[in-house]
Structures are given as C-alpha cells and as structure tokens.
Chains A and B, each alone.
Chain A
C-alpha cells in the first residue's frame, strides 16, 4: 500500500479535527516512511503524514513485508526511505549493514518531548527511538475461571492444572490457545518458554548455541504438555487466527501479543459479552524460576544513513510531531498499545506488558545471529510436538540447522 499523501493531506487534517495542533516543520525536504502494517503504527504514521505541506513531501509505505525490503531500500544512495519503523528484532539487520544514522544531534535539537527510556543507545549513540512496548501476555476468561473456582494461573504448571480442571468439569475440551504454527510463531513460543529458565541462548562471547541442555528440554516438555489441552489443528494456530477461537468460546486461556489485546477486549466488537470477561495478566513462569516466560519488545523508528541532512531534519521533526503527547490524548489511540511516549496513562491492554516488565522479563536479544536461531527453532520443533521425535532429537536438529546457517552467514567458523 504505497500512497502519496500530498493530495490527501487536506482530508486527513480535516478528519483529525480542527482542534488538533498543526504540524509545523522548519526547513524543506521529503519524509519517506517504511512501516509494518498494524493499527497502533498506523496511528503514528497517519500523524506524521499530517506534516505534508508546500515544502515538505510525505510518502508512506505500510506493509507487513517491511522486514524483507528494508535492507535493500536503505542500501541505495539516497535511501528509498528516510524513516524505518522497526522493532528490536528488525533493527538488527539494519545495524549489521550499518545503514542507520546516529540520532544524537537530532534528539538534542528537536527531541524535547522524548523521555530517556525511549532512547535506544547502542555503544553510547542513539540509534533508534522507541515509542511502544509489546510482549506476550496471558489472556483469560474471568467468568469461566470464577464459575469453576479456578485461580488465575501464575505459572505454567498451574495453567496446565487449570486446563485439566476445565476439561474434567466438562466446560471445555481444549481450553488452551498458543501460536504453535511452525515458522516464526513456533520459534517465538520456544524462545519465550526458554526465557523463563533464565538461561542464555548462546555460549558467552560466541555464536555457539547453548540451548541443547536441561533447560531446553524442560521448555520443550512444557510446550508438549500444553499441546494436550489445545485443539486438533494446533499446528496451524497462529496469532492472526486466535480471535475466532476466542469469540467462539472454544478456549479460556491464550498466550497472545499485547498489540492485539485491544481487539480481544473491544466491547464494541463481535462478541461484547466475551470481551467484557477477557482479562490479561503477566505471562506465567515455570520450573520455579519466577521469570515470566516471554520476551519484551519495543517498536520504534530508526533513520537511514544515506539521506541528506535536510531530509533527516524534516523526517525527524515529522516523527516528533507524530509522537507528541497528543497522540495518546485520543483515548482510542491510547488503548491500542503500551505506549512509551510522554503523557501516556497505562490502559488495560498494556497491563500485561507492564506486569511482565515488573516481574523481570528480559528483552528479545538484539544479537545478530538470534534471527538464525529463531528460524532454526521454528522449522525443527513441530515433529517433537506431534510426537514423532524426542526432545533431544528435536534440539539436535535445531542446533544442526542453526550451525549450518550461522556458518554460511559467517558467525561460526
């Protein structure tokens, strides 16, 4: 979806309402934004687009394929985009190629509204600005738990017990939903689970994987136990497809992303009575470690290196306007995510993310070879979960696949 917004700016400003402050930008140049495509980001990008004027051109490209084009798009000189909206995972490929620009000077000049926690400093330099936090959290049906006298699970062990109790009581056959679709989703589920052990993914100071150990096997066994209480099609479950199951009252527990929670608790949605009873808490821990089994993510933006100083200045100003406190003054936008911007009051959808942070969850590693491990995990765990392999064999396959890829990419010799 690539649209030049010059022509539609007038309409957008009209929609935003006359009460909103006008975006005034010093200088002239062009703002070219590449972003992922979901509601919360759309709110940010739409605000940046309001900055289009006679001297400032704004174009945006919101696409779920952003990760696949960002490196190529920022490698050209001048870069195809001035602003790349990224997450902690997707910033790494840009850093690996050295395609982003330090933002210290711009922050000093235009970043009055930024908070220290928003600045992503790498080796002392500000390389990105974060504006929202995301993580998985446990969604549950408060009414069903109450009717059956089940306490809200705080550990995976309790979650399994609660699921068993619901099945025994004849309330639900398959009360659990987790995104076990092979590929990115399944890899992320294992990474989350393994995070709950507090163990590192790699040998210190090297790219040699360290997951083929007791913690890795225990994490896999826990996932296997979950499959007992998931529907027959669980190997195609992913976060996009969770909602129909939830609204159809087929599941009572779901591990799901904070950025999607708004849709589940939306009382103007398809099933308001279910939405009203949907609540979120921190992700459970396991094995007595007390660490929520999840990774913390931030979404933010970085800026291309190969652009003129004028373009950089107007682009940064446009993003600053987009991320001003007015963004979260609108209650509908505020409810979309756990915003990190100035002036944000925590909303129900963000409760789980904040609870995860407070309980000591760690961020998704920004190590350059983490993506390769993630891919290897996503491709090699399905057979274990379907009972065709042992946990040891599955981890051995993961290590072999990862080592092959990491050797080819030059991380392991």
Chain B
C-alpha cells in the first residue's frame, strides 16, 4: 500500500487516538507537575452550639486572586513524583540510614504507600494471569468434550462469573467469607480455629482476592479458548490419532501449539486488566491489607475534602509507565515482526 493511501486510511483512527488518548494523557502529565497554591490563612473566631473557638481558615478571596493569576497552580516539577506518597526518595534514604540489614530495609520500604500498592498489584497480576489462562484452557477442553445437549447450559453457567458486575460479585463473596458467613464459618470449623478471619489476616485477604480474580476472569479465557478449539484442524488431529498419539499427546502437540497465539492474546488482555485491579479491593473492604495503584488514585481523588489532583495524576502516570513496561516484551516482538516484513 502506498504511504499516502495508508496515511489517509488511518487518519480517522489517528485523530480519534490523539483526541481520546494522547491529549488526556498529556493533560494528566501536565497536571502532575503542579500543586495547589500556598494557602493564605487567617485566624477567625468560630461560634456555634458548642461554644466559641479560635480557628484558622483559608482566605477564600486571596486564594481566588492567586488562582486567577495561575490557574494550573504552583509549578512543582517532578516533586510530586518524588514525595513520600509516591517514589519516596527521601524516606527510602532515611530508612537506608537507620537499617542494618536488607530484610528490615525491604520490609520498611514495602510499607511505603506506593511500594505497598505496587507489590500487591504485581503479585495480583502475575499470580492471577497464569491461573486464568490454565484454568480457562482446561474448562474449554472439558466443555468441548461434552455431548451437544448439555453444552449450551454448561457454557452459560461457566460464563456467569464474568457476567456478574465485579463489585456485586465481590460483595456477595465478601458476605460469604465473613466469619459468620457460609465459607468463613465452614473454614473455622475445618481448621478448628474460631478466631480465623479471612478479612483480618493480610495473607488470607491476598489469597481471597487472588481466588476472586481467577474466578472472575477464567470465563474470559475459557470463551476465547473454546472458540479457538472449534478451529483446530481435524486432519492433523486425525493423523495424530492414526500415529497412535494419546489424548494428552494430542493436546500437547496439536491443540496447544494451535492455540498459542490466543494464549498470548489472553495474557496481554489479562496483564492490562489485572494491573488495574480495583473493584475487588473496594468490594471486599480489603484496603487495610491490600491496596493497588488504581486504589491509590481513587483514594487521592475521593477521600480528602478536596481532590489531590497532582498526586492522582502522578500515580496515573506511574501506572501508565508500569503498563508500558509490562507490555514491553510483546511490543518489542511486534516491532521486530514489522521490521522483518518490511
């Protein structure tokens, strides 16, 4: 295709990409470089039903003038990225100074908000993704072997976890794992420990979230693999059978190689999806034991009286960088393929 035709061909999608992807990302990056103006404070007397107190208050008039002069706020450069809420360069330095061995050092660094969120996000991504692929594959193989009559209903029920809204799904499970819920109390009896709580122990909370993630996403892998299985070439399969290949050998040497590109596709989708894990943390009220990068953004925007835009923007930029790093191997491979063809 001539370059000119190609350019015209992709122009509409390129425009849409610029408008809906590049510009918002650019504005987020810009936002992350600014913080709120220095607040002008005045002391005033507050009186109400409980008596009078002297309290400090923002001078709204003076602040308005400042904001009109510089609407974006005070330029802070990459200060927000380096502060204690994000990369925490200074605090890591302090911790380095006061700790003697690597164990304590890492332990304390992993307690910093961004690193704590990052370690959970990465664990979630790298544990849930492979399990989803493997489980989805086996469900697909199983369903594919079922007789036609019950196939339809089984497929429908296997898809349910994906159809349920993540927040609702996690809330339902949340009540089931309560120490008085059906799963929670069953586990207590099973282990013989009446104080066991899936919600209190950090490890068990992590495990719960992982299990939830696998439960929720496995149907996606299943449906993709199942579609792929319908296209596995019958000739190859039959010649493998003639050659005396067992069922396992047929799966290993015919089905899996054939489905490999699909596995890559699912891995890509799941890496991106799982890296932005958020709803289950809210649904399971797990913020005490597990926070993710997306959760940090949410809490910057929602929990304080006024949103901390710079913090949220900085975390967003760091998350975007994280996604790029995660997808790098795939991107590099695509680039190589492209060059080879050209």
Chain A interface residues (CB < 8 Å from chain B): 67-68, 71, 88, 90, 92-93, 95-99, 117-124, 130, 133, 173, 181-184, 205, 207, 231-236, 296, 298, 340, 357, 362-363, 365-368, 371-372, 375, 378-379, 382-383, 386, 388-389, 393, 397, 400-401, 403-405, 407-411, 413
From B56, B200, B285, A367 is in contact (CB under 8 Å) with: B56
B306 interface residue (CB < 8 Å to A) = yes
Closest approach, in angstroms, between the C-beta of A65 and any C-beta of chain B?
10
6 tightest Cβ-Cβ pairs between the two chains A and B:
A98-B60, A232-B197, A382-B288, A371-B305, A123-B44, A410-B36
Q: How many B residues have CB within 8 A of the partner chain?
A: 55
23 inter-chain pairs at a CB distance below 8 angstroms, sorted by A residue, are A88-B48, A95-B57, A96-B58, A121-B46, A122-B45, A123-B42, A181-B285, A182-B285, A205-B43, A231-B179, A232-B199, A233-B178, A233-B179, A233-B197, A234-B200, A298-B50, A362-B50, A363-B50, A379-B113, A404-B85, A404-B311, A409-B36, A409-B306
Residue of A at shortest CB range from B301?
A: A68
Chain B residue contacts of A232, Cβ below 8 A? 179, 194-197, 199-200
Distance of B119 from chain A, by nearest CB (Å): 14
Q: State whether the Cβ of B230 lies closer than 8 Å to any Cβ in chain A.
A: no
**Additional 18 contacts, C-beta under 8 A, given A71-B306, A233-B199, A386-B200:** A68-B302, A121-B48, A122-B57, A205-B43, A232-B179, A233-B178, A234-B200, A298-B49, A366-B46, A366-B53, A367-B56, A371-B304, A375-B304, A379-B113, A400-B84, A404-B85, A405-B304, A410-B39
Q: Are B35 and A407 in contact (CB under 8 A)?
A: yes
Chain A nearest CB, measured from B272 CB (Å)? 27
The answer to whether A120 and B74 have CB atoms under 8 Å apart is no
- Tell me, in angstroms, the Cα distance from A228 to B64 when the chains sit together: 50
Q: Which of B52-99 contact A (CB under 8 A)?
A: 53, 55-58, 60-61, 63-64, 74, 80, 83-85, 91
B38 within 8 A of A: yes
In the complex, what distance in Å separates the CA atom of A357 from the CA atom of B48?
A: 13
Q: Which of A233, A296, A378 is B50 in contact with, Cβ under 8 Å?
A: A296
What residue in chain B is nearest A126 (Cβ atoms)?
B47
Kindly list chain B residues whose C-beta atoms are within 8 Å of the C-beta of A365: 53, 55
Cα–Cα distance between A357 and B37 once the two chains are bound (Å): 38
Q: B261 contacts the other chain (Cβ, under 8 Å)?
A: no
How far apart sit A371 and B306, CA to CA, in the bound complex (Å)? 9
Q: How far is the CA of A180 from the CA of B35 in the complex (A)?
A: 32
Give B contacts to A, CB under 8 Å: 35-39, 41-51, 53, 55-58, 60-61, 63-64, 74, 80, 83-85, 91, 111, 113, 178-179, 194-197, 199-200, 202, 285, 287-289, 299, 302-306, 308, 310-311
Q: Which one of A119, A205, A367, A405 lies within 8 Å of B85 (CB-CB)?
A: A405
In the assembled complex, which residues on chain B have CB atoms less than 8 Å from the CB atom of A96? Answer: 57-58, 60, 63, 305-306
Known: A93-B305, A183-B303, A375-B304. A404 touches B83 (CB 8 A): yes
In the complex, which of the residues B42, B53, B305 contacts A92, with contact meaning CB atoms closer than 8 Å? B305
Contact of B308 among A233, A298, A393, A405 (CB under 8 A): A405
B44 near A122 with CB under 8 A, answer: yes
- Shortest CB-to-CB span from A246 to chain B, Å, is 14
Contacts of A98 in B (CB 8 A): 60-61, 63-64
Q: Say how far B206's CB is from chain A's closest CB, in angstroms.
A: 13
Q: Which of B37, B49, B57, B194 contacts A118 (CB 8 A)?
A: B49
Q: Which residues of B contact A388 (CB under 8 A)?
A: 202
Complex CA gap A234/B201 in Å reads 11
Whether A379 pairs with B303 at a CB distance below 8 angstroms is yes
Rounded to whole angstroms, the CA-CA distance of A338 and B302 in the bound complex is 29
Expressed in whole angstroms, the Cα–Cα distance for A28 and B310 within the complex equals 44
In Å, the complex CA distance between A363 and B83 comes to 33
Given the complex of chains A and B, what is the CA–CA distance between A353 and B311 in angstroms? 38
Asked if A122 and B46 sit within 8 Å, CB to CB, the answer is: yes
Known: A98-B61, A181-B285, A235-B200. A411 touches B39 (CB 8 A): yes
Chain A residues near B35 (CB, 8 Å)? Answer: 407-410
Q: Which residues on the B side are within 8 Å of A340 (C-beta)?
A: 49
